[in-house]
Homo-oligomer: A and B are copies of this chain.
Amino acid sequence: MPVIPINTPSATYNVTIAPNLLPTLHPRLRKLNPGRPFRPFIITSPNIWALWSKPFLASFKEPPTVLFHPAGERHKRMASVESLAQQLSTAGADRDALLLAFGGGVIGDITGFLAAIYMRGIRYVQIPTTLLAQVDSSIGGKTGVNLAAGKNLIGSFHHPQAVFADTDLLRTLPPAELRAGLQESIKAGVIYDARLFRYMEQNAEAILSASAPAKRNADTAALAKVVAASVRVKAEVVSQDEKESGLRMILNFGHTIGHAIEAATSYKQLLHGEAVAWGSIAALSLAVARNTIVEKDANRIVNLILRYGPLPTFKATAEELVALTARDKKNRSGIRSFVLPTAIGKVEIVHDVTEPELLAATQSMLTLMRTGT
**Which of B78, B142, B333 sits near A82, CB closer than 8 Å?**
B78
List 24 A-B pairs, Cβ < 8 Å.
A37-B332, A37-B333, A39-B333, A77-B82, A78-B82, A82-B147, A82-B154, A85-B153, A86-B149, A89-B149, A94-B329, A94-B331, A95-B329, A95-B332, A96-B332, A116-B156, A117-B144, A117-B154, A117-B155, A119-B153, A119-B329, A120-B144, A120-B156, A120-B329
Contacts of A77 in B (CB 8 A): 82
Contacts of A153 in B (CB 8 A): 85, 89, 118-119
Interface size on A, residues (CB 8 A): 38
**Which of B121, B156, B329, B331 sits near A117, CB closer than 8 Å?**
B156
Closest CB of chain B to A79's CB: distance in Å?
A: 7
Q: Would you call B82 and A121 a contact (CB within 8 A)?
A: no
Q: Is A225 an interface residue (CB 8 A)?
A: no
Which residue of chain B lies nearest to A78 when distances are taken between CB atoms in the complex? B82
Q: What are the 5 closest A-B residue pairs judged by CB atoms, nearest first?
A: A89-B149, A78-B82, A37-B333, A120-B155, A96-B333
Closest CB of chain B to A41's CB: distance in Å?
A: 14
Q: Given the known inter-chain contacts A117-B155, A119-B329, A120-B157, please indicate yes or no for A147 contacting B94, CB distance below 8 A.
A: no
Which residue of chain B lies nearest to A116 when distances are taken between CB atoms in the complex? B156
A residues 87-131 touching B (CB-CB < 8 Å): 89-90, 94-96, 113, 116-121
Closest CB of chain B to A334's CB: distance in Å?
A: 8
Contacts of A79 in B (CB 8 A): 78-79, 82
Closest CB of chain B to A89's CB: distance in Å?
A: 4
Instruction: Summarize A's interface: helix, strand, loop or mixed.
Output: mixed
Q: Is A150 an interface residue (CB 8 A)?
A: yes
Closest CB of chain B to A158's CB: distance in Å?
A: 9
A residues 243-294 touching B (CB-CB < 8 Å): none
Closest CB of chain B to A141's CB: distance in Å?
A: 10
Which residue of chain B lies nearest to A154 when distances are taken between CB atoms in the complex? B117
A222 to B89 CA separation, bound complex (whole angstroms):
43
Q: Would you call A94 and B332 a contact (CB within 8 A)?
A: yes
Contacts of A147 in B (CB 8 A): 82, 85-86, 89
Q: Is A81 an interface residue (CB 8 A)?
A: yes
Contacts of A144 in B (CB 8 A): 117, 120
Q: Would you call B154 and A156 a contact (CB within 8 A)?
A: no
Q: Is A75 an interface residue (CB 8 A)?
A: no
Which residue of chain B lies nearest to A144 when distances are taken between CB atoms in the complex? B120
